[in-house]
Chains A and B, each alone.
Chain A
C-alpha cells in the first residue's frame, strides 16, 4: 500500500513535457492530472513493459499524443516503476492473442491511479508489428487491439505510424478519431515548411529560393497548394509532397494570385486574384483542368481569402464592401453573397482569414480587438461569435481534422510562433519554436 502511494505521489510530480496552459497562460509546468478536474475527462494510463528503443519511443510518442488530444487526463508514471503497474508477462506467457488476458492486467491498481483507460505497447505475436492494446479499466476488459508496424524508431515514418495508432486509441476510448497523424504547413522566411502535429519532423517543402505564401492542403493529404511570389506577382503552385512534382495552375502565370484552397472533394480550387481592378475570388475546375471563372464582382471593394464549407456548396470570404474587412458568404457559384459574421459598423475591428471547420459547423477567423488581431470562432448556423484568445497578437487560425482544435499564429511569447488550442477547453500549447512562423494550414489525416 505504501509503495502504491509513492507511485501515485510520483505521478503527480511528473512535469508535462511541453508546457500546457490556458489562454491567457497560467503557470506552466506541473499539471496535476488525477485530482484537479475529477470527472471531466477520463484518466488514461500508458503502461510500461519490456523495454527496447522502439517500444520506449512508441510509448513516449503515444503518451504525448494522448496528452495533446486534450481528451484525457494522462497519468504520468516514473519510467523505473513501469514494471510495478505495467504488464509482467509470466515466463509461461499466454499462447497467442496478445496481452489481453485479464490475469495480467492490474485493473484495480489502474483504477486506483485514476485511470479509466490503459494502453499497453508490447512486442507483437509476429515480428512485423507491435501489439497496442486499449483497456477499459472500469469494465475490466480489452477494448481494442491495434497493430503498430515495426520500424526504425528514429524515423519520421515510425513516428507517423505511432500517431496513426494513437488516433485509433482515441477512437477506441471516445468514439472519434484523434488528430495526431496530421501535419501543418507553415511559412517561415519565405520557405514553405511542414511539421508533424506534435511539433516534430520539421521539413522544408518548397524548393530553395522560392518565396511561398498562403499554403493549403489537398483533401488527400498528399498534395499542397501555395502561391509562389516573384516581383509582385504570385503564381499558384500545386505541389505533390511525396514526389516533389510541382505544376502551375493554368491561368495564374500573371497577376498576383494568392490563398488557394481546395474544395472538400478536391475537384475545384478557389483563390484570390489581385490586379489593377482590385482583389476578386476566382474558381478553377481541377477535375476537368479548365474553366477559370470569377466568382465576385465590383471594383469598389476587395474580395479575398475564400474558404469552402464542408459540403463544398458555399464559400466564405473576406470583403471590404463595408469599408474595413469583414467575413461574408456566398454560394460556390458566386451567387447570393451576404454578410456572414455579424459586426457593428464602425465599432467592430477588421475581420480576416476565415477557415470553415472540417465538420462545417464553425468558422474560425481573426478580428482586430483594440488594435491587435484575436482568434474568433463563429457557429455557422447560429452566427454567434466567440473570442478565443486575448494574450498578444493571435491570427490566421486553421482547423485540425477533428473540428475541435485550431492552430494559429501568436506573439504571446515574443516572436510569431504557431500555437494549438483546444477550442472546447481553451487549453493551448506551443507547436513551433522556430523564428517567425506564420500562415499555418492544418492537414487532413496523412495517408499511409
Chain B
C-alpha cells in the first residue's frame, strides 16, 4: 500500500511537472570521444602557441643579451679607442728655436705613440709642427716642419713605416695659448698628432 502511494505520488509529480513546463527528460551527459579529441587538440594548440611564443621570447632575450654584450664590447672598445686616441694626441714640446726631441717626458710620449702605432698596423698619423710668436714668421714655417720631422724621425728610426707618418707645419699661425710670455710660448712650441686613417677602432698596446 505504501509503495503504491509512492508510485502514485511519483506519477502525480511527473504529470504536474509535465503540465507545468513540458520539460523533456534531462539528458545525462555521456563522454564524447570527438569532443575529447577536440579539447586535446585545442590544448595542444595553446601549448604549441605558448611554446612558439616562448621560443620567440627566448630568442629575443638571447638576441637582447647578444646585443647588450656587443654593445658592452663596443662600449669598451670605444672607450679603449678614445683612450688610445687621447694618448696619441698628447703633444710634444720644444725649446726655443730648437727642433730636437727632449729626453724624458717627450721621449716617453713618443714611446707611447710608437707602441700604439705598432699595436694598430692600419693606423696612420700626421704630425704638425708649431712655433711660438718669436722668430721670423717665414723661418717659423721651416722650424715647424723641422719639429714635425724630428718626431717622425724618432718613430721611423724605431721601425714605423715612413708611409704611415706625414708631416706638416703651421709655423706660428695657430697658437694654442695667447699671450706674449714664456708660459704661452712654451705651450705653443709643439708637435700635434692627428689620425689620418685606421683610427676607428684602436687597441691598447700590451702592458699599457
Knowing A229-B173, A231-B168, the reply to whether A259 touches B142 (Cβ < 8 A) is no
The reply to whether A233 and B136 contact each other, CB–CB distance below 8 Å, is no
* Cα distance, A439 to B137, chains bound together (Å): 8
Q: CB-defined interface of B131-160 with A at 8 Å, one 1/0 digit per residue?
A: 000011111011001100100100000000
Give the shortest distance, in Å, between B115 (CB) and chain A (any CB).
24
Whether, in the assembled complex, A275 has its beta carbon less than 8 Å from a beta carbon of chain B, the answer is yes
* Cα distance, A272 to B167, chains bound together (Å): 17
Residue of A nearest to B153 (CB): A276
* Cα distance, A232 to B194, chains bound together (Å): 12
Whether, in the assembled complex, A256 has its beta carbon less than 8 Å from a beta carbon of chain B, the answer is yes
Whether, in the assembled complex, B169 has its beta carbon less than 8 Å from a beta carbon of chain A, the answer is yes
The reply to whether B145 and A256 contact each other, CB–CB distance below 8 Å, is yes
Which residues of the partner chain A approach B126 to less than 8 Å between Cβ atoms? Answer: 232
From B136, B142, B173, contact of A395 by CB (8 A) = B136
Whether, in the assembled complex, B77 has its beta carbon less than 8 Å from a beta carbon of chain A, the answer is no
Knowing A396-B137, A439-B137, the reply to whether A302 touches B167 (Cβ < 8 A) is no
Give the shortest distance, in Å, between B129 (CB) and chain A (any CB).
8
Whether, in the assembled complex, B106 has its beta carbon less than 8 Å from a beta carbon of chain A, the answer is no
Residue of A nearest to B152 (CB): A276
User: Which residue among A279, A320, A373, A439 has the maximum number of chain B CB atoms within 10 Å of its CB?
Assistant: A279
Which residues of the partner chain B approach A275 to less than 8 Å between Cβ atoms? Answer: 145
The reply to whether A274 and B169 contact each other, CB–CB distance below 8 Å, is yes
The reply to whether B168 and A258 contact each other, CB–CB distance below 8 Å, is no
The reply to whether A279 and B136 contact each other, CB–CB distance below 8 Å, is no
Q: How large is the interface on A (under 10, 10 to 19, 20 to 34, 35 or more residues)?
A: 20 to 34
Which residues of chain A in 301-333 are interfacial with respect to chain B, using CB atoms and an 8 Å cutoff?
302, 304-305, 318, 320, 324-325
From B136, B141, B146, B173, contact of A373 by CB (8 A) = B136
Q: How large is the interface on B (under 10, 10 to 19, 20 to 34, 35 or more residues)?
A: 10 to 19
The reply to whether A278 and B137 contact each other, CB–CB distance below 8 Å, is no
From B128, B137, B149, contact of A232 by CB (8 A) = B128
From B139, B146, B152, contact of A278 by CB (8 A) = B146
* Cα distance, A352 to B136, chains bound together (Å): 6
The reply to whether B136 and A278 contact each other, CB–CB distance below 8 Å, is no
Whether, in the assembled complex, B170 has its beta carbon less than 8 Å from a beta carbon of chain A, the answer is yes
Knowing A275-B145, A276-B149, the reply to whether A352 touches B170 (Cβ < 8 A) is no
* Cα distance, A304 to B137, chains bound together (Å): 11
User: Which residue among A232, A278, A373 has the maximum number of chain B CB atoms within 10 Å of its CB?
Assistant: A232
From A279, A324, A366, contact of B141 by CB (8 A) = A279
The reply to whether B173 and A350 contact each other, CB–CB distance below 8 Å, is no
The reply to whether B173 and A274 contact each other, CB–CB distance below 8 Å, is no
Which residues of the partner chain A approach B138 to less than 8 Å between Cβ atoms? Answer: 214, 258-259, 272, 304-305, 318, 352-353
Knowing A213-B173, A229-B173, A231-B168, the reply to whether A258 touches B141 (Cβ < 8 A) is yes
The reply to whether A279 and B142 contact each other, CB–CB distance below 8 Å, is yes
Which residues of the partner chain B approach A252 to less than 8 Å between Cβ atoms? Answer: none
Give the shortest distance, in Å, between A254 (CB) and chain B (any CB).
11
Which residues of the partner chain B approach A232 to less than 8 Å between Cβ atoms? Answer: 126, 128, 168-170
Give the shortest distance, in Å, between A197 (CB) and chain B (any CB).
22
Knowing A274-B145, A278-B146, the reply to whether A211 touches B139 (Cβ < 8 A) is no
User: Which residue among A190, A256, A272, A320 has the maximum number of chain B CB atoms within 10 Å of its CB?
Assistant: A256
Which residues of the partner chain B approach A259 to less than 8 Å between Cβ atoms? Answer: 138
Knowing A258-B141, A278-B146, A279-B141, the reply to whether A353 touches B169 (Cβ < 8 A) is no
Whether, in the assembled complex, A438 has its beta carbon less than 8 Å from a beta carbon of chain B, the answer is yes
The reply to whether A274 and B136 contact each other, CB–CB distance below 8 Å, is no
The reply to whether B168 and A366 contact each other, CB–CB distance below 8 Å, is no
* Cα distance, A305 to B140, chains bound together (Å): 11
The reply to whether A352 and B139 contact each other, CB–CB distance below 8 Å, is yes
Which residues of chain B in 64-93 are interfacial with respect to chain A, using CB atoms and an 8 Å cutoff?
none
Q: CB-defined interface of A207-234 with B at 8 Å, one 1/0 digit per residue?
A: 0000101100000000000000101111
A/B interface sample: 5 pairs, CB < 8 A: A229-B173, A256-B169, A274-B142, A276-B149, A324-B97
Chain A interfacial positions (CB closer than 8 Å to B)? 190, 211, 213-214, 229, 231-234, 256, 258-259, 272, 274-276, 278-279, 302, 304-305, 318, 320, 324-325, 350, 352-353, 366, 373, 395-396, 438-439
